[in-house]
Amino acid sequence: MIPHDTEHLWISVRERASADGIRWLEEKTEAVARNLGAIAAAFPAVGREVGRTTLDPHDPDDPHTWRLDDAGRALLLVAIGERVREEIHGLYRHGDANERRGVLRALLFLPVGDSAVPLVEDAIRTNDTNLIAAALGPYAMQRLDDAALAQAVLKCVFVGVPISPLDGLEDRTTPEMSRMLADYAHERIAAERDVPAEVWPVIERYPPREEIAEIFSELDHPISERRHAAERALRDSHLLRSRDANI
Amino acid sequence: MRIFDPHVHMTSRTTDDYEAMAASGVRAIVEPAFWLGQPRTSVDSFVDYFNGLLGWERFRASQFGISHHCAIGLNPKEANDDRLREEVLAILPRYLAKDGVVAVGEIGFDSMTAGEEAALEAQLALALEHDLPVLVHTPHRDKPAGTRRTLEIVADSGVPPERVVVDHNNELTVSDVMESGCWAGFTIYPFTKMDEHRFVRVIEEYGTERILVNSAADWDISDPLKVSKTANAMLDAGFTDDDIDRLVWQNPVEFFGQSGRLMLDEPDADRAATFEGNSVLRGERPVG
Confidence at residue B54, expressed as pLDDT on a 0 to 100 scale: 95
Do A153 and A190 share a domain, yes or no? no
Counting the structural domains of chain A, the total is 2
By DSSP bridging, strand B3-5 and strand B134-137 are unpaired
pTM of the model: 0.85
A40: chain B residues, CB-CB within 8 Å: 94, 97
CATH number at residue B235: 3.20.20.140
pLDDT over threshold 80, residue B271: no
Residue of A nearest to B54 (CA): A96
Residue A166 lies in a domain: no
Cα separation of B134 and B239, whole Å?
29
Q: Which of A159, A194, A225 is the last residue of a domain?
A: A159
Which residue among B55, B99, B280 places its CB closest to the CB of A44?
B99
pLDDT greater than 50 at residue B124: yes
* One domain, residues A106 and A204: no
Q: Residue B1 burial by CB count (10 A; 0-12/13-18/19+): exposed, middle or buried?
A: middle
Nearest Cα neighbor of B29 from B132, B111, B135 is B135
Query: Which pLDDT band holds residue B191 (cuts at 50, 70, 90)?
Result: confident
Write out pLDDT tens, residues B208-244. 999 999 999 999 999 999 999 999 999 999 999 999 9
Tell me the percentage of chain B whose pLDDT exceeds 90: 87
Q: Are residues A112 and A209 in the same domain?
A: no
User: Which of A52, A96, A129 lies at the smallest CB-CB distance from B279?
Assistant: A129
| DSSP symbols for chain A | ----SHHHHHHHHHHHS-HHHHHHHHHHHHHHHH-GGGHHHHHHHHHHHH---BS-TT-TT-TT--BHHHHHHHHHHHHTGGGHHHHHHHHHHT--HHHHHHHHHHGGGSS-TTTTHHHHHHHHHS--HHHHHHHTSHHHHHHS-HHHHHHHHHHHHHHT--STTSTTHHHH--HHHHHHHHHHHHHHHHTT----TTHHHHHHHS--HHHHHHHHHGGG-SSHHHHHHHHHHHTTSSHHHHHHHH-
State the total domains in chain B: 1
Question: Which residues on adjacent β-strands are paired with residue B166?
Answer: B136, B184
- The answer as to whether B168 is a domain residue is yes
Distance from CA of A122 to the nearest CA of B (A): 13
What's the rounded mean pLDDT across residues B157-161?
A: 97
Report yes or no: A87 and A35 within 8 Å, Cβ to Cβ.
Answer: no
Chain A partners within 8 Å of B260 (Cβ) = 48
Which one, of A71, A107, A72, lies nearest residue A89 by Cα? A107
Count of C-beta atoms within a 10 Å radius of residue B124: 21
Q: A218: domain range?
A: 173-246
Q: What is the nearest CA distance from A47 to chain B, expressed in angstroms? A: 7
In a domain, B192, yes or no: yes
What pLDDT does residue B125 have? 98
A121 located within any domain: yes
Q: Is A99 exposed, middle or buried (0-12, 13-18, 19+ CB in 10 A)?
A: buried
pLDDT over 70 at B278, yes or no: no
Q: B24 — phi, psi (to 5°)?
A: -80, -5
How many whole angstroms separate alpha carbon A97 and alpha carbon A130?
8
What's the gap in Å between the CA of A168 and the closest CA on chain B? 23
Q: Same structural domain for residues A91 and A53?
A: yes
B287 part of a folded domain: no
Cβ distance of A100 and B55 shorter than 8 Å: yes
CB-nearest to B288 from A45, A47, A194 is A194
Gap between the Cα atoms of B10 and A22, Å rounded = 36
Contact B98 A96 (CB under 8 A): yes
Contact call for residues A163 and A153 (beta carbons, < 8 A)? yes
Please, which pLDDT band fits residue B288 given cuts at 50, 70 and 90? very low
For residue A167, being part of any structural domain is answered with no
Averaged pLDDT, A115-122: 96
CA distance A225 to A223: 6
User: What is the rounded radius of gyration, in angstroms, for the C-alpha atoms of chain B?
Assistant: 18
Cβ A52–B266 below 8 Å, yes or no? yes
User: Searching chain B, which residue's CA lies closest to the CA of residue A49?
Assistant: B99
For residue B198, is it within any domain? yes
pLDDT at A56: 83
Report the C-alpha gap between B91 and B284 in whole angstroms.
Answer: 37
Question: Considering only CA atoms, which of B42, B37, B70 is closest in space to residue B56?
Answer: B70
In a domain, A108, yes or no: yes
One domain for residues A67 and A189: no
In a domain, B135, yes or no: yes
Q: Cβ–Cβ of B283/A100 closer than 8 Å?
A: no
Q: Do A59 and A105 reside in the same domain of the chain?
A: yes
Give DSSP secondary structure letters for B157-202: HT--GGGEEE-S--TTTHHHHHHHT-EEEEE--SSSS--HHHHHHH
Q: Mutation test of the interface with chain B: which of A43, A64, A127, choosing the one with the most B Cβ atoms within 10 A? A: A127
Which residues in chain B are closer than 8 Å to A193, comparing Cβ atoms? Answer: 285, 287-288
pLDDT at B286 over 50: no
Option in B55, B97, B278 nearest A44 (CB): B97
Is the pLDDT at B189 greater than 70, yes or no?
yes
Contact A97 B98 (CB under 8 A): no
Same domain, A146 and A207: no
C-alpha–C-alpha distance, residues B253 and B262, integer Å = 8
Give residue B141's pLDDT band: very low, low, confident or very high (50, 70, 90): confident
Question: Are residues A189 and A229 both part of a single domain?
Answer: yes
**Chain B partners within 8 Å of A96 (Cβ):** 51, 54-55, 58, 98-100
Cα torsion angle, B193, B197, B198, B199, sign: positive
- Give yes or no: residues A178 and A129 share one domain: no
- Tell whether ipTM is more than 0.85: no
In chain A, what residues touch B94 (CB-CB under 8 Å)?
40, 94
pLDDT digits 0-9 by tens, A148-188:
999 999 999 999 999 999 999 999 999 999 999 999 999 99
Within-domain flag for A164: no
CB contact under 8 A, A40 and B97: yes
The pLDDT of residue B183 is: 98
Q: Which residues of B touch A155 (CB under 8 A)?
A: 283
Q: How confident is the model at residue A247 (pLDDT cuts 50, 70, 90)?
A: low
Contacts of B276 in chain A (CB under 8 A): 160
Report the pLDDT averaged over residues B70-89: 96
Q: Tell me the pLDDT tens digit for each residue of A2-59.
A: 788 999 999 999 999 999 999 999 999 999 999 999 999 999 999 999 999 999 878 7
Virtual torsion, Cα B202, B204, B205, B211, nearest 10 deg = 60
A78 and A147 belong to one structural domain:
yes
Does residue A11 or residue B191 have the better pLDDT?
A11
Min Cα–Cα distance to chain A from B132, Å: 14
- Range 41-60 of B in CB contact (< 8 A) with A: 47, 51, 54-56, 58-59
pLDDT for the residue numbered A243 = 78
Helix (H, G, I), strand (E, B) or coil at B72: strand
By C-alpha distance, the chain A residue nearest B274 is: A61
| A135 φ/ψ sector (left φ>0, alpha ψ -120 to 50, else beta) | alpha
Of the pLDDT bands very low, low, confident and very high (cuts 50, 70, 90), residue A246 is low
Write out chain A residues lying below 8 Å of B282, CB-based: 127
Assess whether pLDDT exceeds 70 at residue B274: no
Q: Which domain holds residue B7?
A: 3-272
Answer yes or no: do B94 and A158 touch at CB < 8 A: no
Tell me the chain A residues in contact with residue B95 when contact means C-beta distances shorter than 8 Å: 94
- Residue among B45, B92, B279 with most chain A CBs within 10 A, to mutate: B279
Report pLDDT digits (tens) over A69-100: 999 999 999 999 999 999 999 999 999 999 99
pLDDT digits (tens, 9 = 90+) for B50-63: 999 999 999 999 99
- Please tell me which of the candidates A61, A93, A128 has its beta carbon nearest to residue B59: A128
Residue B279 lies in a domain: no
pLDDT recorded at residue A1:
65
Q: Nearest CA to B50 among B29, B73, B28, B27? A: B73
Separation CA A37–CA B129 (nearest Å):
18
Whether residues A26 and A144 share a domain: the answer is yes
**Residue-averaged pLDDT of chain A:** 94
Same domain, yes or no, for A52 and A154? yes
Query: Is residue B282 included in any domain, yes or no?
Result: no
Q: Say yes or no for a CB contact (<8 Å) between B59 and A130.
A: yes
